[in-house]
C-alpha cells in the first residue's frame, strides 16, 4: 500500500479508515500503544508482587491503586478531544444522559469487582503463575464476543480456546510447584479461582464495552473512549475508598507503611508507581481499541501476560519449572493461532474489497472525448 493512502483498519464490525493517516503513521501509533500496554501490564504485575512480598497486605489498597490514577487520562483527553476513529461523521447519541450515567456506574462497579479478584489472585500466587492464568482471558473473550458481539467461531479460534484453557489447567494440577512462602493449599486454590474469575470478568467487560459503544453511546471518538475509562475508573475508585474505610483496613495503613520491608518511602513510591503503571496500561488498551479494535487490544494483553513470567524470572527469580515453561509455550501458541485467524480475516476482507473495486471499474462505461 502506498504511503499516501489512508490506512484501512479491519475490525470485527467492518472496515474503518483511520482519519487521514499514512501507513507508517498508523504503524507508529500501533507500536506505541502496544509498548504502553505490554510495559504497563508487566510493571503492574511485578509491582503488585513486590508490594505483597515486602509486607503489604491490604487488598483494598492494592485494588485502589488500580484506578485512583485516572486523572492522568485527563491529559490525553484535553489534548486530543476531536480525534475520531472514522472519517465519517460521528453518530449522535440516541440515549439519554441518565442511561449513559447508569451504564458508567454499572461498568464501574463491575470493574471494581474485577480488580478485587485480581488483587486476591496476586496475593496468593506468584507473578508468573498469575500471569499465565490471566492469559485465559483471550479464551473467555472469544466466547463472550461470539454471543455479545457476533464474533465468528472458527477452527483456529477454537484451537486457541482449548490450548489456553489447557495451559491454565496444567498450572492448577501442578499447584505445589510454585506456591509462595506461607500460602496454604486453600489460599492457593482461592488465588487460582479468583484470577480465573477475574480473567473471565475482564473479557466480559471488554465485550460489554464494545457493545455499549455500538448500541448505546454510538460515537467513535477518542475522547468518548477516554470518557468511559475516566468515569468508570472514578466509580470504581469510589467503591474502593468506601470498602477501604468500611473494612477498617485504613487503620492498618500507617503500620503497614512503617513495617514495609524497604522502608516507608519505598512503600509510598510502590503505590504511586503502581497507580501510574495501571494508567499507562489503560492508555495502551484504549489506544489499541481506538486505532485497531478491542479484540486486538485483548490479544496484545494476552501476549503480555504470557511474556510477564520471563520478567518475573529476572526480577524475582520465580521458579520456571518444566510445567510452567510448557504452560507458557501453550499460551503463546494459543495467541499465535488467534493472530493467524485475524490475519486470514483481514486478507479475506481486503480481497473482497479489491474484487468489488475491479467489478465497479468493469461496469463503468468508457467515456469518449
Please indicate, yes or no, if residue 310 is contained in any of the structural domains: yes
Inter-residue contact 306 to 331 (CB < 8 Å): yes
Q: Which residue has the cell 509486607?
A: 55
Q: Which residue has the cell 515486602?
A: 54
Inter-residue contact 230 to 74 (CB < 8 Å): yes
Residue 160, pLDDT score: 79
Residue 361, pLDDT score: 67
Inter-residue contact 291 to 18 (CB < 8 Å): yes
Q: What is the 3-state secondary structure (H, E, C) of 66-105?
A: CCCCHHHHHHHHHHCCCCECCCCCCCCCCCCHHHHHHHHH
Q: Which residues, 6 or more positions from 257, have their beta carbon under 8 angstroms from its beta carbon?
A: 264, 267, 268
Please indicate, yes or no, if residue 135 is contained in any of the structural domains: yes
Please indicate, yes or no, if residue 143 is contained in any of the structural domains: yes
Residue 272, pLDDT score: 95
Please indicate, yes or no, if residue 352 is contained in any of the structural domains: no
Please indicate, yes or no, if residue 351 is contained in any of the structural domains: no
Residue 362, pLDDT score: 64
Residue 194, pLDDT score: 95
Residue 6, pLDDT score: 45
The total number of structural domains that make up the chain: 1
Residue 17, pLDDT score: 40
Q: At what angle do helices 23-53 and 127-134 cross, to 10 degrees?
A: 140
CA distance 32 to 155: 31
Q: At what angle do helices 155-173 and 322-363 cross, to 10 degrees?
A: 170
C-alpha cell at 39: 510495559
Q: Average pLDDT across each block of 10 residues of the chain; the chain has 369 residues. List them in order.
A: 43 43 71 88 88 89 93 83 48 69 94 93 83 81 81 79 76 63 86 93 87 76 79 95 93 92 93 93 78 74 74 76 80 81 75 75 53
Inter-residue contact 100 to 93 (CB < 8 Å): yes
Residue 87, pLDDT score: 42
CA distance 244 to 238: 10
Q: Tell me which DSSP letter residue 368 carries.
A: P
Ramachandran region of residue 55, left (φ > 0), alpha (ψ -120 to 50) or beta?
left
Domain region containing 204:
8-345
CA distance 358 to 257: 68
Q: Which residue has the cell 506468584?
A: 126
Please indicate, yes or no, if residue 1 is contained in any of the structural domains: no
Residue 3, pLDDT score: 43
Residue 215, pLDDT score: 83
CA distance 116 to 239: 11
Please indicate, yes or no, if residue 289 is contained in any of the structural domains: yes
Please indicate, yes or no, if residue 223 is contained in any of the structural domains: yes
Q: Which residues, 6 or more positions from 299, have their beta carbon under 8 angstroms from its beta carbon?
A: 138, 335, 338, 339, 342
Inter-residue contact 131 to 309 (CB < 8 Å): yes
pTM: 0.78
Nearest Cα residue to 111 out of 250, 214, 221, 231: 231
Amino acid at each position: 500500500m502506498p504511503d499516501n493512502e489512508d490506512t484501512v483498519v479491519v475490525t470485527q464490525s467492518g472496515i474503518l479508515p483511520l482519519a487521514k493517516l499514512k501507513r507508517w503513521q498508523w504503524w507508529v501509533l500501533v507500536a506505541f500503544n502496544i509498548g504502553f500496554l505490554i510495559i504497563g501490564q508487566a510493571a503492574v504485575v511485578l509491582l503488585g508482587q513486590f508490594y505483597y512480598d515486602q509486607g503489604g497486605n491490604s487488598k483494598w489498597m492494592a485494588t485502589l491503586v488500580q484506578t485512583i490514577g485516572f486523572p492522568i487520562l485527563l491529559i490525553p483527553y484535553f489534548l486530543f478531544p476531536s480525534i475520531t476513529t472514522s472519517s465519517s461523521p460521528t453518530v449522535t447519541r440516541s440515549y439519554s444522559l441518565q442511561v449513559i450515567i447508569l451504564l458508567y456506574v454499572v461498568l464501574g462497579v463491575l470493574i471494581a469487582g474485577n480488580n478485587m479478584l485480581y488483587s486476591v489472585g496476586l496475593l496468593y500466587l506468584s507473578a508468573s503463575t498469575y500471569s499465565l492464568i490471566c492469559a485465559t482471558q483471550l479464551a473467555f473473550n472469544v466466547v463472550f464476543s461470539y454471543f455479545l458481539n457476533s464474533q465468528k467461531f472458527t477452527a483456529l479460534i477454537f484451537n486457541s480456546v482449548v490450548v489456553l484453557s489447557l495451559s491454565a489447567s496444567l498450572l492448577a494440577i501442578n499447584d505445589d510447584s510454585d506456591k509462595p512462602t506461607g500460602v496454604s493449599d486453600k489460599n492457593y486454590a482461592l488465588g487460582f479461582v479468583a484470577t480465573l474469575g477475574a480473567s473471565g470478568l475482564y473479557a466480559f467487560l471488554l465485550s460489554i464495552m464494545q457493545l455499549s459503544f455500538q448500541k448505546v453511546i454510538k460515537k467513535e471518538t477518542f475522547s468518548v473512549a477516554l470518557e468511559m475509562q475516566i468515569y468508570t475508573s472514578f466509580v470504581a475508585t469510589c467503591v474502593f475508598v468506601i470498602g477501604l474505610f468500611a473494612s477498617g483496613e485504613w487503620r492498618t495503613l500507617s503500620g503497614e507503611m512503617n513495617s514495609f520491608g524497604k522502608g516507608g518511602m519505598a512503600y509510598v513510591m510502590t503505590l504511586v508507581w503502581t497507580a501510574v503503571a495501571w494508567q499507562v496500561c489503560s492508555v495502551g488498551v484504549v489506544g489499541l481499541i481506538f486505532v485497531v479494535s478491542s479484540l486486538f487490544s485483548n490479544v496484545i494483553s494476552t501476549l503480555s501476560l504470557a511474556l510477564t513470567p520471563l520478567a518475573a524470572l529476572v526480577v524475582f527469580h520465580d521458579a520456571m519449572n518444566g510445567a510452567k515453561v510448557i504452560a507458557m509455550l501453550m499460551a503463546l501458541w494459543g495467541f499465535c493461532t488467534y493472530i493467524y485467524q485475524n490475519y486470514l480475516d483481514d486478507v479475506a476482507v481486503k480481497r473482497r474489497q479489491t474484487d468489488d473495486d475491479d467489478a465497479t471499474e468493469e461496469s463503468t462505461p468508457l467515456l469518449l472525448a
